[in-house]
Structure 1
Amino acid sequence: MPQWVNRLNTIMAKWLWWVVLLGVIASLPVVYAREQTEQSANEVAIVMDYRDLLQVSNTQVDPRRFVEEQIGLLKDAGVNGMVVFESTLEELSWAGEVNVYNATQAALLEGRVSPPDDNGTYVVFNRPEHEATFRPIIEWAFRHHGAEVTSWSVKGQAGVRISMGYDDAILRPMQPNPLAIKSLSEAGFLVIPRLSDRFDPFDQTEVARWLDSYQELGIDRIVFDGEAVTGFADDDEKHKGITFFAGELKEHGIGVAIFENLRIPQKGMSKLANLLGYNAIRAHSVSEAEMSVIKKPVLEDRLVLAVKDRNIRLLYLNAITVRDSTKGQVTHPLQNIVDVLKGEKDDDGNTVSVGVVKQLHDFGFEIGSPKAFQIEHAPAEMALRGVAMLGAIALVALTIGLFLPSLLVPSLVAGAVGGAGLYVLSSTLMVQALALMAGIAAPTAAVVLLVKRIRVLRDSGEDRKMSSLHRLGGALLLFVRTTILSLAAVPFVVALLNHISYSLVLQQFRGVSALHLVPIGLVALYVFLYGSGNTVIGNARKILSMPLTVLWIAGVGVLAVVGYYYLSRTGNSGQVTGIEKEFRSLMENTFGVRPRIKEFMFGHPLFFAGIFIALRYRWGMVLLVVGTIAQLSMVDTFAHIHTPLLLSFIRVLLGLGIGLLLGFVAIAVWQVLERLWQRWGKKVLGDAGQ
């Protein structure tokens, strides 16, 4: 490469680091605005599935009294809301409003033989005073479902006949029970209707009537049941349903709740939330199956962490009856729910758990009516984000220049031009790609620059002049410098992805696996192929010409297994063992915020000790390669946009603090082993060789 190109790249690199710094500074007001947004809504609703409560009551001697008692106990424990599904004939029968019969059963009631061609469903209204409410609901719903509804009575009790098979009819949705909604609302509960997309075609007039009644009762939030939101349709012509529904919700002051961790996200939710101006909150559900087996301490931790760690504002509790053959009876988890929310004491009066409500209060949350985040923006935010984008592009170009200096300027130009073009075509794709590249670039550049600095010290002979204490101080300074540079990616990631749709997980940071692998691979590439007084190609040939032994094959196999396990733990679906869950719980209870295990127990101590060792021994570079895990993990912590920003900062600082302490311990152990080796090890090997 011509000397003038090298000089240009050197000068350009110095200026680009100033551009990176400018980008970081420009990002800080945007970071602060996001933190303010996350502090704007601290009320949490704890809601119970009312349908489940009715279903459990159906196994009791006096269902109505059971429901009243359980509602009182749940409210006293902290449940402040009830979720009411779209009604079905089955649910109305659990509530005691109707009795539902097939054709044979209806014929027996009338003292006749059922005709073979009659497969209708017969409904009797149990409470005459409620007939005026439920008759029109049933008639409208089943006529909408394509079934004929006619009047029918038996033994003086009014009812209807539905021209639909019994098994089909009891599952068909109807308007949510208006009497139950009114009763629960008057009892002081937040009522959250759970609507579906199961009415086809979508009836705008009927839905508007439902929303009118909700507004009269002060209902301000709904959730959805099924695969899609109300009004959704795959037919492009019918997409107007969501637009109409969103308009009605806005007019009635009603927002939505979005369930996290659904196997398949509900269709149309992203568009609906956007049309609502993101009047949306996140909801966490504990399913019926989970609730029947989950242990109380686990459930308590799960609910608290959902609110504190993932910006959940709606805790959704379910219940189901279980046939317990061991006890010889039917059981349900409602008492467990009360214990978990309210707290529990043993027979001696000692506190077993303080309860979810108390813990949430201690962390600054209150049980109430949850509100959507009040979105805050930094002054001139678009301009600041533009500067941040330029800083991120400069950071990526500098990282490329560390490996291929001749591409420093071309990569900068290509990044700026390509980024601008991609922003025009898809701004979302552009900021996601740039956030990922900045997240990869910062820890990569930080560790590569560390390796270069250590090599300069060794080549100059300064490493041999260092005392152990001097080497420890140098390792600490290099660790701090590297960590600061790695964290330079954080303001870029936060600023680039500063949109409420990421906090609601309607959009996500993409490329988690790449972020966890690429920096390690690039650092390893630099350590093994760059330097050592040879060219990259020369070093590559040297490595490739090494004899392939069984030990090498075994090492590659072990590395593959470790890599697979490492990747299996990344992302929101990462797998952890039972022992680790217990350890995580211990850390959470000890510090209030759980630092990442791979950072404070593995990555940071190994990285710190690796710097100390590498200042004297060349093989210590291998420890830096592995320790890069902690550097990139810090960036990844902030890539979880649904986690509160302040909590992420605390988590990273705790990981660094504990990791450094363990690193000092590791270095002390190494020093002892090194001296023992110098005193006894060489002598033992020498004696053995004679």
Structure 2
Amino acid sequence: MQRVLLWAFLAAALTVSLLTATQRFRVERRNRAVELIADYSEIAQLAIASGRSTIEALKTLKSAGVTTVAISELTIGDLMAQGRVFVRYPQGRLEQTVLLVDGNLVSQLADQLRRVLGGEKIRVSEIATDRSTMEKAEITIRGRVATDWLQSLPAGLPTQAIADARAAGLLIVARLINYPGATPKAIREILSNLQKNGVRKIVFQGDQVLGFKGAVKDTARYLKRFDLIFGRIEFAKQKGEIELAKHVEGNIIPVHSITQNEMPTLSRPDIVERYRKAVRERGVRLCYIRMYESAGSDVISANAGYVHEIAATIQKDGYVLASSHTLTEVRIPKWQRAVPAVGVAAGALLLVTSVIDISAGAFAVWLITGTVAFLLLAWTGDFGRKIIALAAALIFPTVGAIYAVRNLCANTVTSKKTISGALGRLATAALMSTAGGILVVGLLSSKAFMLRVDQFAGIKAAHLIPILLVAACFAGGIAWQCDSWAVQRKRLIESYQKLLSNPVLMWQALGLLLALIIIGLMIARSGNEAGIGVSPIELKFRAILDKVLGVRPRTKEFLVGYPLLFVGIACALHGRRREAAVLVTIGSIGLVSVVNTFCHIHTPLVLSSLRTINGFVVGAVIGIVLWCVLKKLLLLLEVPPNNTDPKSTDYR
């Protein structure tokens, strides 16, 4: 009766979570527009090398798929390097700085300096010049300004670049700089001017966002006021971008870019596939494309072919090349975000009752207390729901691993029933972990998590702790069957005393070391920023799986977790509990990975679901093959089963 009630609670929570998942799926399906961005400065340089005009080059790239051009803001230092601005400090006028400026630039620069420094500090005056030279003008700044600081000030977007982009029919992304001394008023004026000029998206230059350090909240406020979108570059780690992302309230579009230094190290197919994955797997909607070809008789046409490959690959996945937009919120009532907590509380009691029989009174107390506590925690907001999501990631893989071999401590079966029996228990374990993942989806599916402004917390702990719990249960002999607390406590103490008193054999030490290495590697490679990279061979293997299966399953599921878990269950079915304990413990990595897949809220739900299904199918097939090979080997070596006595207390 206890478990029936827990399954009912879990089913109700899963139903609500699936409803949330459906609403999130609809939000994801509506967000299909992707922009391909070319860098104006790069195109202008290649156009000169090809003997074409910049407008012609931009139109050629537009026909290949480019939708947008990124225009970088110049600094006064850039204009000085171009010989278009000269600085002097007049004698006798100690409190003035004079800029000698080209006539066709003076109006734009004066307006920009008024925005940056304040209108009361700027005066413009024409000066006499020789008719054979370009017309000049003076911009006088009140106060003596240090040359280094003056050179760092923004001079605005080049008007010629804006004109060329519009003539080519392309959208514009502004690449603004940060500079020392940016005031809230200056930030307001700079962003207001962008809005007036029809620019809606901003990708900041360099390693800082505008307003860092001290005025990032002002930047966020004015981005929202002027309806401007922050293009957040993946993995760039610009200073201030996390704070800015939190305060713009979802007015964000993820950007993927490959740095100039990295471009020469990548092949053309690798680059194409990288943009495809960024769009398909991580919700990127602004692809900042660096040109691939830099030499040749017609580099513009050559790069147009390269851009077309990227465009065609993205379109093949069902996306459209058009002006991108921000995600809409997954609009659900507050109670709907809290109800999945009931399922997590039920999962916690399922874990307890899988190893310990508890009285009806104690069960009722624990159920009511746990449910109310988890509901209240979920009601507090995102922080509380992140704690519960972590609890789900710890609980459900552990439950799945224990249910996989529960009540098999003394059972043996015929060879014909081994595969079907092991497959059924493997499916039960996988479904249990998937249930935990669905509850995480119900708890965390919101715009902030989908844009990675906020993220699932405790990813390393979620990988390690379930494996340790499973190992502790097997080492203590309490994982195989449920019993009273007194019996299980006695069994636990006796098992650990025996374990600690036994000498460690060389093969056991080597086996333990190998298991620790496997688990350590899996944990090190977990998370969005793994501590260990992926080898070129594995990258090629992943690419093959992507092509064959459509969605690549996770290596730790199909190649490690499920195969070892299947063989471990099969061993348990044949009474080989020592082998089963080790294999199921290591195989629980696969169950942990299933929940972790759904913890990546920025990955589309369809992709996560297909990845989970593919991982199970491929992993089960490999497990069956591995078991058949191992069974032949065991028969050949005539290794007898161990601990088949149902009264034995040695459940290791």
- TM (norm. structure 2) is 0.84
283, 287, 304: which one pairs with 2:259?
287
Query: How well do the aligned residues superpose, as a CA RMSD in angstroms?
Result: 3.8
Question: Does the CA contact (< 8 Å) of 2:563 and 2:620 recur in 1?
Answer: yes
Partner in structure 1 of residue 34 of structure 2: 44
Residue matched to 1:437: 391
1:403-441 per-position Cα deviation (integer Å, ceiling 9, x unaligned): 5655865654553454355456x5221100101111221
Paired residues for 1:175-574 under 5 Å: 175-198=156-179, 200-202=181-183, 204=185, 207-208=188-189, 211=192, 214-215=195-196, 217=198, 219-225=199-205, 229-230=209-210, 234=214, 241-242=218-219, 244-250=221-227, 254-263=228-237, 266-274=241-249, 278-318=250-290, 337-342=303-308, 355-377=309-331, 381-403=333-355, 411-420=366-375, 422-423=377-378, 426-455=380-409, 458=410, 461=411, 463=412, 466-531=413-478, 535-548=491-504, 553-574=509-530
Distance 1:495 1:179 in 2: 50
Secondary structure of the residue aligned to 1:14 is: helix
Question: In the alignment, which residue of structure 2 is the partner of 1:688?
Answer: none
Instruction: Specify whether residues 21 and 548 from structure 1 end up closer, same or farther in structure 2 by C-alpha distance, changes over 3 A only.
Output: same
Q: How many residues align?
A: 616
> Residues 545, 171 of structure 1: CA spacing in aligned structure 2 closer, same or farther, 3 A cutoff?
same
Structure 2: distance between partners of 1:476 and 1:363: 33
When structure 1 is superposed on structure 2, of 580-589 and 552-561 the one drifting more is 552-561
**Structure 1 regions of 5+ residues with no counterpart?**
1-10, 108-113, 323-328, 343-354, 680-690
Q: Is the counterpart of residue 647 in structure 1 residue 607 in structure 2? A: yes
User: Which range is displaced more, 205-214 or 166-175?
Assistant: 205-214
The amino acid that maps onto 1:84 is I
The aligned amino acid for 1:99 is R
- Tell me by how many angstroms 1:449 deviates: 1.8
480-489 or 219-228, which deviates more: 219-228
Q: CA–CA distance in 1 between the matches of 2:633 and 2:550?
A: 36
User: Matched residues in 2 for 1:220 and 1:473: separation?
Assistant: 58
C-alpha deviations, 1:210-265, integer Å up to 9, x for none? Answer: 53663563x3333334566545663xxx6773464145223xxx333222223356
Q: 1:80 aligns with which of 49, 52, 67?
A: 67
> Whole-Å Cα distance in 2 between the matches of residues 518 and 566 of structure 1?
13
Which of residues 547, 567, 579 is equivalent to 1:589?
547
Contact 2:188 2:219 in 1 (8 A): no
Taking a change above 3 Å as real, the CA distance of residues 661 and 172 of structure 1, as seen in their structure-2 partners, is same
Q: Give the secondary-structure state (helix, strand or coil) at the position aligned to 1:174.
A: strand
Preserved contact between residue 109 and residue 155 of structure 2 (Cα < 8 Å)? no
C-alpha change, 1:123 and 1:285, in structure 2 (3 Å) is farther
The residue identity in structure 2 corresponding to 1:290 is: E
Residue deviations 1:277-322, cap 9 Å, x none?
A: x233211122222224322111111100000111110111346999
The whole-number CA distance in structure 2 between the counterparts of 1:61 and 1:498 is: 49
Relative distance call for 1:589 and 1:62 in structure 2 (3 A) is: closer
For the pair 1:634 / 2:606, whether they are aligned, the reply is no
Q: Following the alignment from structure 1 to structure 2, what is the Cα–Cα distance between the partners of residues 144 and 537?
A: 80
**Aligned residues of 2:245 and 2:252 also touching (Cα < 8 A):** no
| Contact 2:40-2:71 within 8 A present in 1 as well | yes
Deviation at 1:84, TM superposition (A): 2.0
Asked if the contact 1:23/1:492 (under 8 Å) is kept, the reply is: yes
Is the contact made by 2:562 and 2:623 (CA closer than 8 Å) also made in structure 1? Answer: yes
The verdict on how the C-alpha distance between 1:53 and 1:555 changes in structure 2, with shifts beyond 3 A counting, is same
Which SS does the other structure have where 2:544 is aligned? helix
> 2:233 & 2:117 partners in 1: Cα distance?
29
Check whether the contact 1:137–1:175 (CA below 8 A) recurs between aligned residues.
yes
Residues 643 and 546 of structure 1: is their aligned pair in 2 closer, same or farther, counting only changes over 3 Å? same
Are 2:626 and 1:666 aligned? yes
Letter paired with 2:584? L
Mark the CA change 1:622 to 1:410 in structure 2 (over 3 Å): closer, same or farther: farther
SS of 2:261's equivalent in the other structure is helix
The 10-residue stretch of structure 1 (441-450 or 664-673) with the greater mean CA deviation from structure 2 = 664-673
8 Å contact from structure 2 (residues 224, 251) kept in 1: no
For residues 615 and 332 of structure 1, do their structure 2 counterparts lie closer, same or farther at Cα, with a shift above 3 Å needed? farther
- The equivalent of 1:684 in structure 2 is none
Alignment partner of 2:559 out of 592, 596, 601: 601
Q: Distance in 2 between matches of 1:488 and 1:528?
A: 26
1:284 is paired with a residue whose SS is strand
Q: Distance in 2 between matches of 1:206 and 1:435?
A: 39
- Aligned-pair CA distance for 1:507: 0.2
**More off after superposition, 387-396 vs 39-48:** 387-396
